[in-house]
Amino acid sequence: MLRTDEPFGLVRASTERIAMEAAMAGRKNATWPQLWPEVVGKIKDGDSLRGTETRWLHDYLVAKGRFDLIDDDEQTVQTVQLPRDWAASVLAAGDRGAERAIRGLQEVGLIEKVHDGIKGHAALFAVMPLPPERPDEPP
């Protein structure tokens, strides 16, 4: 479950730090900073996913070697589904502008693609950084 005691609401402080540093160091004409505040409102706890999206997240975590996060009740992966048409409407841009902004979010390290999506299911992204790995418990 997402903790709301995080300083930036539903976004981890480490994620917001990435956004601030990238915005300061980035291009003035970058489109991702215009999209990011709207994306923050769509971020969900990975545990709230159902069906197809749950399988996508599971496969992503396995591929990343993050088995510790698969059934962890305390640490959860934050996710966001970003339909390209939604991003285009937020930016008042076409598909190309939306794709550019979403790609920008990936390039600066705010999100990482979990799955491209299929008809009826928007692309799924993990919000970076993933929760830290826990040290192995002593025997």
Q: What is the pLDDT of residues 78-101, one digit of tens each?
A: 999 999 999 999 999 899 999 999
Q: What pLDDT is attached to residue 29?
A: 85
Rounded distance, CA 50 to CA 63, Å? Answer: 20
Rounded distance, CA 104 to CA 131, Å? Answer: 22
Q: What is the pLDDT of residues 100-116, one digit of tens each?
A: 999 999 999 999 999 99
Q: How many CA atoms lie within 13 A of 3 on its CB side?
A: 10
- Claim: this prediction has a pTM higher than 0.85: yes
